[in-house]
Chains A and B, each alone.
Chain A
Amino acid sequence: MTTTAIEAEGLVKIFGDNRAVDGVDLEVATGSVYGVLGPNGAGKTTTIRMLATLLRPDAGRASVFGHDVAREPFVVRQLIGVTGQYASVDETLSATENLMLFCRLNGLKGAAASRRTRDLLEEFHLVDAAARPLRNFSGGMRRRLDLAASLIAQPPLLFLDEPTTGLDPRTRAQMWETIRRLVATGSTVLLTTQYLDEADQLADRIAVIDRGRVVAEGTADELKSSVGQQSLQLTLAHAAQLPSALDAVLDVLGVAATPSPEARRLTVPVADPARVTDLLVRLRGAGVDLDGLSMDKPTLDEVFLTLTGHATTDAASPELEEIPA
């Protein structure tokens, strides 16, 4: 029995002279949520499409629960569910008709298909709109239906390609909730995202991908600590006390703090968290009043910037748009 849901080694996909995926290695443990994080055009969708048997790799190999995606695609398809970046449901059909179609294609017949369809419509809050053609569906409803269609066969591995791109914050939070519940039932999820907070919130492990390569891999915490140390944020009650606070920091920790006077705030790099207590005692002694304080780890935004040399909003290069689904 294997405990690895996905194993990929040196995956390569070339479109023309564009190496869209350029040697990606991945290992995803069963029962985990694995995040693939990267900007537009980094190769996320192409990687997912190769793992989901929708594209043949030009080099390298990948397997799903021990079944090779190139040699045993039919077996792999029985183990996966795919929800694409663009809703992969039929626009001219209603929600019920879509789910019935995919139930039948998954081998459910008559009453069993109707029952599964009804259950999924209920679970994804689509009962009221079930008979309407999808043309009138909102983006969130479409995504929910798309995910519902992926769950008909209760696949042990789910690919979610940017499941919340373009959704409003409330719908996005609902989608996160759904993904968490899925994992609780034993599903393994591989999701791609451009949103750092999404990877941070959902994923057990994250691969940062840029220009077709994995540039970093680990838990969110590991990635953050690989980039730098924590920092202490101090908010003072009175802006006039900034100079004495700066002196105290230099004296106790031996480093220069970065002041932002308009916000009455100091950012202090902290190598040894234990010494923060000394600093706080010293500040009280100096009569500096604090409004607030927090210890901050570096954000994934900073991680990304450090790892790739460019910000996340920057696509690797404009013409490297992802292949449309």
Chain B
Amino acid sequence: MTTLTTARTTPGERIVPGAERTLRNRVTLGQAVSDTLAMARRGLIKIRRTPEQLIDVTVQPIIFTLMFTYIFGGAISGSVAAYLPVIIPGILVQTVITTSAVTGTQLREDMDKGVFDRFRSLPIARIAPLAGALVADTVRYLIATTLTIGMGLLMGWRPGGGVGGVLLAALLVVVCAWSLSWIFAFLGVIARNAGSVQGISFLVLFPLTFLSNAFVPVDTMPGWLQGFVDTNPVSHLVTAVRDLAGTGTVSGQVGVALLSCGAVVAVFAPLAVRSYMKKA
């Protein structure tokens, strides 16, 4: 009986019979990580092969940052320069979170392809095809984050938190976007088609990002709305980013944002993985 040590599959070589193999009953953590990395590598190749799918993370940060700053700057803060410390963290959060919704749409499209059948038939960690796609998508968040911050700096934003504060702020936004992308991954798994994922995602995102402190001071809003805005996790994230970038202080808001992110992952990652396996 030959062994499996040789890598060749040429005909004539005997295949090890099922009864003589050592079989594992579950995935180890190490395997889950390496499977996820293999899937992430696939995601990165896909991003490289289809650059047109990067339009949302390249064009949107540039246009939105320009538009919002010059339209609202004078009205809200008296001048564009005074508005920049308010709007750049706000638009950063809004843009990157919006980007995380695209993850769900693309996942849905991807799952309809035959290759997902093969993933399901392989002895790999169940979570890998999902987690890998989500890990690869952090590249998209990094691009959107870099471009938004770069636009701000070009337009004269001089954050008081310095390089360290801005980098921490960027990291926090990327982490939060990644956590939120599990919600959209879940929607992507349970939805019937990519179009409906997009529809539902924007229905959720639009109020969340606009009914926050991202664009305007909260005290200009009616009292009942302030209640919602103050509890909206997006507001906490925006405040945390303003503190980090503006003054370099790690405020309690960072903790609130990270805790919310942890809760989102704890709820939606198992939901997404379970529905994904059921869909098989």
Interface set of A (CB-CB < 8 Å, partner B): 1-2, 5, 30, 52-55, 64-67, 72, 74-75, 77-82, 84, 86-93, 97, 101-102, 104-108, 112, 115-116, 119-120, 123, 133, 149, 151-152, 154-157, 181-182, 184-187, 325
Contacts and interface: CB of A to CB of B under 8 A. Distances in A.
Contacts of A106: 122-123
B231 interface: no
9 interchain residue pairs of minimum CB distance: A65-B18, A181-B11, A104-B38, A77-B123, A88-B114, A88-B118, A186-B15, A156-B18, A82-B121
23 contacts: A1-B19, A30-B17, A52-B121, A54-B121, A54-B280, A75-B23, A75-B123, A84-B117, A87-B114, A88-B114, A88-B117, A92-B49, A97-B45, A104-B34, A105-B38, A107-B31, A119-B7, A123-B9, A154-B9, A156-B18, A156-B21, A185-B14, A186-B15
B46 interface: yes
Interface of B: 4, 7-19, 21, 23-27, 31, 34-35, 38-39, 41-42, 45-46, 49-50, 113-124, 128, 280
Query: For the complex, would chain B's binding face be called helix, strand, loop or mixed by DSSP majority?
Result: loop
Given A93-B46, A154-B4, A185-B11, A77 B121 contact: yes
A101 B38 contact: yes
B109 to A, nearest CB: 11
A74 B123 contact: yes
Given A92-B45, A119-B7, A185-B14, A65 B114 contact: no
A65 to B, nearest CB: 4
A157 B9 contact: no
A30 B18 contact: yes
A120 B31 contact: no
A206 to B, nearest CB: 23
Contacts of B35: 105
Contacts of B15: 154-156, 185-187
A115 B7 contact: yes
Contacts of A185: 11-15
Contact of B115 (A64, A89, A112): A89
A185 B41 CA distance: 33
A156 B121 contact: no
B13 A133 contact: no
Contacts of B123: 74-75, 77-78, 106
Contacts of A84: 114, 117-118
A90 B11 contact: no
A209 to B, nearest CB: 21
A93 B45 contact: yes
A247 to B, nearest CB: 55
Nearest to B1: A186
A86 B18 contact: no
Contacts of A157: 18
A152 B46 CA distance: 22
A170 B24 CA distance: 41
A81 B115 CA distance: 13
A75 B117 contact: no
B280 A55 contact: yes
B71 to A, nearest CB: 38
A285 B118 CA distance: 66
Given A78-B123, A89-B114, A123-B9, 8 more contacts: A53-B120, A55-B280, A75-B24, A77-B121, A82-B118, A102-B118, A107-B34, A119-B8
Nearest to B20: A1
Contacts of A53: 120-121
A5 B38 CA distance: 31
A5 B18 contact: yes
A104 B18 CA distance: 21
Contacts of B121: 52-54, 77, 80-82
A295 to B, nearest CB: 34
A82 B118 CA distance: 7
B114 A86 contact: yes
A74 B26 contact: yes
A203 B49 CA distance: 41
Contact of A79 (B18, B113, B116): B18
B241 to A, nearest CB: 34
B24 A92 contact: no
B4 A79 contact: no
Contacts of B18: 5, 30, 64-65, 79, 156-157
Nearest to A159: B121
Nearest to A52: B121
A63 to B, nearest CB: 11
Given A79-B23, A87-B114, A186 B17 contact: yes
Nearest to B18: A65
B33 to A, nearest CB: 12
